[in-house]
A and B are shown apart, each in its own frame.
Chain A
């Protein structure tokens, strides 16, 4: 419902328009061209590009056309699984609509999720938008967030000035754009004023560590020495260009040297040490008010000389990108003062706390939208933080959504890299969801001949291939080989050496393009979209309601599957035997004897032999959705009752997967398994006695949850044996992708089960302990997102690198049969692969090094495509450049994944130590080679990586590395991490917490999400209610002495005795509740995840759980944040000579 929201153009074609969706996500922008102008004109005129999170109101007020636009975009975004609650409150919507809201409880109540997918309400507007409507998935949520964007992004390009004009002092944004407008804004001045707050951070460190002051001290105020150095403050990310107009705009992060004099900002910097790449903690001027744009100035001064000043005028429109999400906050600045200023801009996250530790670095994501051009002035631009809200304009390099490198300048030599202590790796998310306002990926059809490729390395044509000899030949930027240009692809070169048609050809001017694959790329016809559902109906599953929940979810989800003959479905259930259903055959005769309900039930085919399984029919088990929809629905309704008295305790998971695989073997496709409880892993393929013995021993261990001490504990995190691995490889070979939904109340050996999804490009969903009441909604939404999100089948991916660098290894959910390629039976927009790189030669300084990721896949509509993303980064031999261009989020994601890989094979303590060392090594290197601070008592952090210690601490305390976790939880965590995207990596270890008891009192019009609170129990009051989310789970903590009124309003419970263990978020008829729902829905949208909601209260295990997320707290097994910084500093000092 949310989606259909009024604004949604009525014209929207019913559901979606296949072609759009098919093309991947790019369909979004279709309106693009049109949109900008309108939006600008209407709504946007005054508004700075509204930040993402902006509330809808603007739209509603705005002219219809404008509203439609944004909305449309929202639609387009394949957003988060439509939370049942479609309910992002749209201004346009009457609150009541929310009725659906509990979409959550999909069970039965409401069949097809009314939201998103369903056709828009008639009323809606402009026809132009229609294309957007196409996006079926859950647009619901988006509208809000995205809409603003839509207008925003558009705006910039068209007219720079406009945004500026906006009243609201755009903190980040506005400032940027307005660069010119708000010239120096006292910023330069302020810094001096505020002496080194950064430095002293530590000084204010909590009593426990009185000494800290010295340690942490950042460079003295004046001491601009290492620009990068003092991270603690939220100094604008590294290379924030000098305030000068130029910097904001052009400032390619890689130290584009701001013309020193160019801007007022630049000047102020106290002696910007050009040399050091690092910015000292920008001593944020106290008064530093967001609007002033000074912040930049600050950072600006941190800028490095090397920057080549891009003409200020440059792409005027582009300026935004520089805006990193983290506006520098004067450390000591009171929250109160800041927030109003920021509010409008939506940078709600900046929440400095009142206590001293608040000066230590914390993430302060800005909610304002950043415009990012991937290249400027023929140089790669530093990408914005992955967690921020940004819009990418592909100007040659691939969008950072698809391809991100841990360092945005490539060290020329291994030695340099080793010295830095940093990792060199790529995060590849080939089908990542675009921002709704981004241009779609262009599809290029080379016809019969297929895409132009280098004849030696087979690299695909990209903007960095250099054409020579009047275009008759080209030099491959990957292997350096000179190829003949195919005759019909030749084109003259312009005076600048580029092909004259370069700008017309997407493959020559865009970092990411999609090629139509020719027959040469197919070993068979593109496979149909096959969805096979496998449901556990063993006693446990039935009794816990898991079967009913699964059936209900499937039943609703089938209406979201694409129509058309290419969509095939199959279903099977299993306990100790496997039951297939002949979906084609209807026993219509039964109708005559008048047992309603059974009249169209399909025939159940039972495969009893789980030792040696098979598929009972060649056809009719998997049939076209259109042919069997009714049977399927009826069947799904009946399955729970059919088995309601099932007494079979075992469920033959392995055998069932194998049997389903055999049924799907000829086509491949998605196998979605719902598994509860105990399973007979070893009933297949190996000697039963041995196998069962092995299992029972393991089971015993798993149940007792071997904790402390056992040296071999990590063995339980490895698959029990090779059976599943072998099977998984076979599944992958036949393009079957397995997703497993585990709904259990006991140990199920996730470690063994997860081998299958991991190898086949699938995913594990884990509901422990499963509750039919509270988890059904999530199950439904997870399933729905699983099948409706943009995805591809039978994919092969390879990353190519320029000479001198090669791929070392791939990590993620895939199957690898040959060293160079990874096979992905399925890949979707959420799946990310990590690609580690290694030098095999020295790179020439000043040259560029390119990475190209090519993904050959079949769309859900049966088109074979090759998505090619190319990223070209400069090489450097300057160490400080590396620190300046390091990408914190990517780097940390890399740490996270490496730790996850390590956990099953090493004792936890060792893994923790390794993680710490990684962090310390980097900081040490920086301290040793880059920082200019003389005092050894100061902890100097590279600006770009200033949050690394905090995240590292979070990682050490996370489920995966904690000693006290359940084995299955840890296995799930490992598995979750393995395909985790960069933007999701951060909240996993450093969740977002916010107060929700006073939602209505804080009228923030910038964002619907309240500002984040640091993860410290000091910030949790007994009279508050807090929400904490990490992208997967969402905890609502109710303090001891909360006003019962607010609990009643928010949660429908009047006293904390009533706090249920199984919680279902509902919307009550009061503004507070509505707001809470809005917030939750917004989070769901952002995370593309429905979130598992749980209520926590002080004093019981749920409260313990909540406080276990307080990363900054001191815990029995871990240091507090401040202590940790001390520890890190000491370690560094120990290393220093």
Chain B
């Protein structure tokens, strides 16, 4: 498995099948785990060079010169590995020779970046804050200070705008002259961009052009007009702080049997229009803080009447959520607009109730926005996550913007689509498969917002039908993939990152062992998780458990080693051995078992899943468990109820939350205060160790996970227990008295495996 990590370290790519089935038929035998790649375009690769010139492209397919190109040093030609087109080197490459290679031809630089100095965005990054005011005073206080702090962290030159909203949308004019001004827009009504432009007085001073699109300074707007709403942070920090300080709860009365009138949709729409008018095409983020459900205007998810509950998964399943589709449609439109403008929507929601993340998800995901879901604006999940967005230190998110992602691959491969934070640019071509998964029917995608963690899951399809005659010809058994990411680096420079991959393909009946050898079960689990989530969201009547089980059984019966109908004879190669366990936990995970969660939470989990890399995805599917005790150094423990012991501390990392679980004895000691006594310094260290580890995890993760510290038998312990394999339940045959048991009817992994073996061998 290490080799997969090495590959990832070089190219930021993980593929379930690193040896690719060579024909359509072969690939169909591989079960439902598709030919796919999880690619992290901006992964920090310390050894990667950045070339200060523009990339050399194939004049036929526009792919970029790469180490897999065949170069004729004499003729000064190179052959594109994708389309086999022969290209002349331009004059500035004339000194090329096999002794004097440009960096992009170095074999180890399969991933490389170009930064051409001439291309630099003139507009500094823009942060448009959209702040909910329908909050109780306490929450508003938290929010105020958090936002104020964030504004302080924003780079000085970046532009900042502010909208607050409640019943109405209040667009604050930060660059006001004599008197502070606020434009008040009705919350219940959706405005068009033209209306916003007109109403915000963009053409008060000079006539509006009769035709054409209004777009920033270049097209029709004066800098002063824009500067009324978007001002460099250094100039408007004071103003924003005073506005925030004065910010009051939405003044409109809320009857006791009603929800506050909150027009999140309109506020976002106005923000999008404003950005569209002022800074189209340059990197801008709408950062939206929401504290409750949208109840008014487009994007409303529920009526104001409290007697009507917010939609649940059940309602969605039964299609009895009257607002849902309308709201989703609205946010799809918003997403489209933002993508068109190249702007990002980030969502910070803090509420005990749902706020509409399920509906907003589409806009966040298409634009590559960040989303954080917490219970309160005072909660560290929110506060620390927000800080992380603006922090520039070792854990910098490296927020980049305005990305365009393109794929080239060998002609026998088609792209079905991408599951991940991007939006299709609808660039159709021979590369596009008929079958669409995620954002498909294109070979180019917009990534309005992307950061070092953003990971795309590309799904491919093999279209070669005939079994090639000369399998042995090694030169011809490679598939090539090239990922091009053109983006605005947070320095403002435009960069192009090129990753070129080559994978061997195999075909025919004897190829199974090769396939097994190339199987990356973690990547496969991650891809399966994205796939199943995607299918649950898009396919009506989809039964995820059944689908996963069938896939697993199919995979096991193809790649397992067994004698037919003899379950006990079943065994799996080490390459596959953990995969069933992943599937077991995936079945139990929040991605599939949605009924424990609200639609908002599910949407949140899936959004995060869809932007994380393989390692993190695996943690989400199957949390890691580390055991701390006096008996040994910290060691990984089986994610099983059996791991619980009175004298241990367990550290569970389920990605969204980190649980420090004190066994009952440890808890007693701690309560007795032993760790404060000098003679028990070891105990104190033992207590501290898991916390240090938890902090380490917390620091580099976005969103910041919820940290739960609990004791055995405590109420918070449920965060751990829910994730454990229920190997011992209340109806287990032999409940050992001292062992923890789980009160669940879920099957344990052993039972699951038994069934799997039985079915796989049939």
Contact = CB atoms under 8 A, between A and B. Distances in A.
A366 to B, nearest CB: 57
B179 A602 contact: yes
B182 A605 contact: yes
A802 interface: no
A608 B204 contact: no
Given A606-B184, A618-B252, A618-B253, A590 B242 contact: yes
B472 interface: no
* Chain A CB within 10 A, most for which of B178, B204, B241: B178
Contacts of B182: 603-606, 616
B180 A603 contact: yes
B197 to A, nearest CB: 10
A646 B191 CA distance: 25
Interface string A959-971: 0000000000000
Given A589-B242, A648-B204, A604 B251 contact: no
Interface in A165-203: none
B189 interface: yes
A604 B177 CA distance: 11
Interface stretch (A116-124, A593-601, A1112-1120): A593-601
A445 interface: no
B669 interface: no
Contact of A618 (B181, B191, B241, B251): B251
A1023 interface: no
A579 B253 CA distance: 22
A612 B186 contact: yes
Interface string A603-626: 111111100101011111000000
B185 A638 contact: no
A646 B177 CA distance: 12
Contact of A605 (B184, B186, B200, B246): B184
A587 interface: yes
Contacts of B238: 589, 593
B183 interface: yes
B178 A641 contact: yes
Interface string B161-202: 000000010100000011111111110010100010011110
A585 interface: yes
B199 A609 contact: yes
Contacts of A580: 184
Contacts of B179: 598, 601-604, 635, 638, 642
A912 B311 CA distance: 72
B178 A597 contact: yes
Contacts of B246: 585, 587, 603
B746 interface: no
A500 interface: no
Interface in A678-693: none
Given A587-B180, A601-B178, A603-B180, A608 B252 contact: no
Interface residues of A, number: 33
B184 A589 contact: no
Contacts of B177: 642
Contacts of B189: 609, 612
A603 B164 CA distance: 14
A616 B199 contact: no
A617 B251 contact: yes
A581 to B, nearest CB: 8
Contacts of A606: 181-184
B168 A614 contact: yes
The residue in A601, A602, A608, A647 that gathers the most chain B C-beta atoms within 10 A of its C-beta is: A608
Contacts of A585: 246
B199 A604 contact: no
B205 A647 contact: yes
B219 interface: no
B245 interface: yes
Interface string B241-269: 11001100001110000000000000000
Interface in B184-241: 184-186, 189, 191, 195, 198-201, 204-205, 238, 241
B185 A608 contact: yes
Contacts of B195: 609
Contact of B178 (A579, A609, A642): A642
Contacts of B185: 608-609
A612 B297 CA distance: 14
A598 B178 contact: yes
Given A587-B180, A589-B245, A601-B179, A608 B251 contact: no
A759 interface: no
A616 B181 CA distance: 12
A648 B205 CA distance: 8
A614 B242 contact: no
A638 B180 CA distance: 13
A307 B320 CA distance: 90
Contacts of B199: 577, 608-609
Contacts of A603: 179-182, 246
Given A604-B180, A605-B182, A612-B189, A647 B251 contact: no
A607 B205 contact: no
Given A589-B245, A609-B195, A647-B205, A614 B178 contact: no
A608 B178 contact: no
Contacts of B242: 587, 589-590
Interface in A610-659: 612, 614, 616-620, 635, 638, 641-642, 646-648
A597 B253 CA distance: 33
- Pick the most buried of B181, B200, B241: most chain A CB atoms within 10 A of its CB: B181
A1086 to B, nearest CB: 43
11 contacts: A587-B180, A587-B246, A601-B179, A606-B181, A608-B199, A608-B200, A608-B201, A609-B186, A614-B168, A618-B251, A648-B201
Interface of A: 577, 579-580, 585, 587, 589-590, 593, 597-598, 601-609, 612, 614, 616-620, 635, 638, 641-642, 646-648
Ranked nearest first, the 9 interchain pairs of A and B with the lowest CB-CB distance are A608-B199, A616-B184, A589-B242, A604-B181, A606-B183, A601-B179, A618-B251, A618-B252, A603-B180
Given A608-B183, A609-B189, A647-B204, 15 more contacts: A577-B199, A579-B181, A589-B241, A593-B238, A601-B180, A603-B181, A603-B246, A606-B182, A608-B199, A609-B186, A616-B168, A618-B251, A620-B251, A638-B179, A641-B178
